[in-house]
């Protein structure tokens, strides 16, 4: 129960890594604020998390003993994020950790010269600026409390390039740069900022994940799990629970001297 007495806010919590992270934090004793857009987004060519999926995540966490706030929030809308932070502080008194997990994988799958300005702007707005917005709205409360852990979900795409994914790669590289700069900004007030770089994460049916499938679709790859496994030095995909375990560590007091770090959970992919 490494997170007993702590409160954790998670964006993109309706399914996938967000749900896995919420469940892991609940098992470790945290109370939760779960956010997701709960609707589709124009320009994103696949369904996003729904209100029903978010409520299912919340219900699973409540069954583990957590107090849970769950509400729709778009990381492109600073007002809804600020309202969610205010509600969490009113309910729990503080926010001990924020997991910036919300993100999109597409529009992608084309060379740079075929990316429209609208597609580029959408990717950066969600995956990079959305992370900045959450840090922007939670930073004041954490600074005042002189405590907190901000955990940004980046990607191996923040460390290396991927063909036909320039927008995603640029956004995730930006997340890592933002992590390092914010870590220095908040170090004097004991607020830690770190990033996790997942590799190819399996789409677990119980988590209702679909990110890997959407990346494969953008690349026109069939039998995508086998294709991605071939690129893994450890010959296995990353499990959602692997990323969730890294989040729990960074949210816990075990990592109290860890800030500005990039924790790569990719089975050795980026070591080559």
- What pLDDT does 64 receive? 98
Residue of 46, 92, 162, 168 marked catalytic: 168
Nearest Cα neighbor of 164 from 105, 92, 213 is 105
Task: With respect to residue 271, please indicate whether it lies within any of the assigned structural domains.
Answer: no
- What pLDDT does 182 receive? 98
* 168 belongs to the catalytic site: yes
Task: With respect to residue 103, please indicate whether it lies within any of the assigned structural domains.
Answer: yes
Tell me the pLDDT tens digit for each residue of 54-91: 999 999 999 999 999 999 999 999 999 999 999 999 99
Categorize the per-residue pLDDT at 191 as very low, low, confident or very high, splitting at 50, 70 and 90.
very high
Phi-psi region for residue 235, left (φ > 0), alpha (ψ -120 to 50) or beta?
A: left
Task: With respect to residue 267, please indicate whether it lies within any of the assigned structural domains.
Answer: no
Give me the mean pLDDT over the 163-184 stretch.
97
Task: With respect to residue 264, please indicate whether it lies within any of the assigned structural domains.
Answer: no
Q: Could you give the C-alpha distances from 165 to 124, 158, 162, 171, 264, in angstroms and in order?
A: 12, 11, 6, 10, 19
Give me the mean pLDDT over the 97-101 stretch.
98
Task: With respect to residue 262, please indicate whether it lies within any of the assigned structural domains.
Answer: no
Task: Report d(CA 70, CA 54) in Å as an integer.
Answer: 7
- What pLDDT does 211 receive? 84
Task: Report d(CA 272, CA 264) in Å as an integer.
Answer: 13
- What pLDDT does 230 receive? 85
- Percent of the chain predicted with pLDDT > 70: 100
* 3-state secondary structure at position 159: coil
Tell me the pLDDT tens digit for each residue of 208-265: 898 888 888 887 777 678 878 888 899 999 999 999 999 999 999 999 999 999 999 9
Task: With respect to residue 272, please indicate whether it lies within any of the assigned structural domains.
Answer: no
Query: Could you tell me how many helices (H) and strands (E) the chain has, helices first?
Result: 9, 7
Task: With respect to residue 236, please indicate whether it lies within any of the assigned structural domains.
Answer: yes
Q: Are strands 31-36 and 262-265 parallel, antiparallel or unpaired?
A: unpaired
Question: Which pair of tokens denotes residue 176?
Answer: 């890592």
Give me the mean pLDDT over the 180-188 stretch.
98
Q: Count up the domains in the chain and report the number.
A: 1
CATH number for the domain spanning 84: value is 3.40.50.720
- What pLDDT does 160 receive? 96
Its domain, for residue 185, covers 7-256
Task: Report d(CA 84, CA 9) in Å as an integer.
Answer: 9
- What pLDDT does 220 receive? 78
- What pLDDT does 212 receive? 86
Q: Are 218 and 257 in contact (CB under 8 A)?
A: no
Task: With respect to residue 1, please indicate whether it lies within any of the assigned structural domains.
Answer: no
Tell me the pLDDT tens digit for each residue of 117-157: 999 999 999 999 999 999 999 999 999 999 999 999 999 99
Q: Could you give the C-alpha distances from 105 to 17, 24, 34, 44, in angstroms and in order?
A: 13, 24, 21, 8
């Amino acid at each position: 129960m490494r997170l007993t007495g702590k409160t954790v806010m998670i964006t993109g919590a309706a399914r996938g890594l967000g749900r896995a992270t919420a469940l892991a934090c609940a098992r470790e004793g945290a109370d939760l604020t779960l956010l997701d857009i709960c609707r589709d987004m124009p320009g994103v060519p696949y369904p996003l998390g729904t209100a029903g999926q978010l409520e299912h995540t919340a219900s699973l966490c409540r069954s583990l003993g957590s107090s849970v706030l769950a509400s729709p929030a778009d990381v492109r809308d600073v007002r809804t994020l600020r309202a969610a932070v205010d509600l969490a502080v009113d309910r729990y008194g503080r926010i001990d950790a924020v997991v910036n997990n919300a993100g999109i994988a597409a529009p992608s799958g084309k060379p740079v010269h075929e990316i429209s300005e609208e597609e580029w702007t959408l990717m950066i707005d969600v995956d990079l600026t959305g992370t900045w917005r959450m840090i922007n709205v939670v930073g004041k409360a954490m600074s005042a409390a002189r405590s907190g852990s901000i955990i940004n979900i980046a990607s191996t795409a923040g460390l290396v390039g991927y063909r036909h994914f320039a927008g995603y790669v640029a956004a995730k590289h930006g997340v890592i740069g933002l992590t390092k700069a914010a870590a220095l900004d908040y170090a004097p007030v004991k607020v830690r900022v770190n990033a996790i770089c997942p590799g190819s994460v399996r789409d677990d049916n119980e988590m209702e994940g679909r990110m890997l499938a959407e990346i494969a679709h953008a690349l026109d790859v069939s039998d995508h799990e086998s294709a991605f496994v071939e690129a893994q030095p450890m010959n296995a995909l990353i499990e959602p629970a692997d990323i969730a375990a890294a989040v729990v560590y960074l949210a816990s007091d075990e990592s109290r001297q860890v800030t500005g770090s990039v924790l790569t959970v990719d089975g050795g992919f980026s070591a080559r």
